[in-house]
Amino acid sequence: MKRLIEVSNVTDVSPPYRNTPIEKLLAYHNLNSPHNDYERAEILVGMCMDHRKKLNIPERFAYIIRDGGGTLINKDFKVSYAVGVGGIKYIALIAHTDCGMVNVSDRKEKFVEGLVNNAGWEREKAIEHFEQCAPLSDIGNEVDFVLRETNRLRELYPQIVIVPLMYKVEDNKLYLIEE
C-alpha cells in the first residue's frame, strides 16, 4: 500500500491544502475541531456506502455521494451539479480499508446464496446479475483505484482541487495519500 500520511495535527496537512476545506475536513473529522456554521457547502465528498464509516463534520459543510467503493463513475452529472450549482471548488475522494468492493468478483458464491436465501431470487438470475455487474463494481486495489479516480476527475474538472484520502476502519481516521 502506498504511504498514508497520518493527520494528528493541522501541521500534518500538506501545504497545498492548508487553509482550504480539505484541511477543515481533516480537522473536523480527525482532530475534533469545533464545528463552524455553514450556509452553503464548501466541498463534495465521494465515499463508499460501507456502514462502518461516518464523517464527523458540521451540517451543510459537504455534499456527499456514496456508492460501493466510493466510485463517482456514472455520477458525473451529480458531481457537475455540486460544482455548477453548489459552487464547490474542492472534492475529497475517500477510499477505505477492508472495502467489500476490493476483489468483489471473488465473493460470487456468498452473493448468489445471499440473494437466493434473503431476497427469494432464482439462483440463475442471481448468477447472471453478479456476472453482469461484479466486473463493473470491482475496484481492485483501493489505493490504486482512488488515485485513478482522482486523475480521471482532475481531467474532467481541471479547476477543482481533488484530493484522494483513505479512511481506516480500524481507527476511524482519515489519512492523506502520498501521490
Judged by CB, which is closer to Zn ion: 13, or 45? 45
Q: Smallest gap, in angstroms, from Cβ of residue 63 to Zn ion?
A: 19
Q: Smallest gap, in angstroms, from Cβ of residue 99 to Zn ion?
A: 3
CB neighbours of 129 closer than 8 A, spacing ≥ 6?
115, 121
Task: For residue 48, state whether it binds Zn ion (rule: CB under 5 A).
Answer: yes
DSSP 8-state class, residue 2:
P
Q: For residue 31, what is its C-alpha cell?
A: 482532530
Rounded CA-CA distance 179/84 in Å is 27
Judged by CB, which is closer to Zn ion: 10, or 73? 73
What is the helix (H) or strand (E) element at residue 77, kind and residue range? helix 76-84
Q: With contact defined as beta carbons under 8 Å apart, do 86 and 63 qualify? A: yes
Contacts with Zn ion in 132-171 (CB under 5 A)?
none
Choice from 13, 41, 46, 50 touching Zn ion (CB under 5 A):
50
Cell 456508492 belongs to which residue? 67
DSSP 8-state class, residue 134:
H
Q: Smallest gap, in angstroms, from Cβ of residue 140 to Zn ion?
A: 13
Q: Smallest gap, in angstroms, from Cβ of residue 47 to Zn ion?
A: 8
Contacts with Zn ion in 79-108 (CB under 5 A)?
99
Which residues contribute to the site for Zn ion (CB under 5 A)?
48, 50, 99
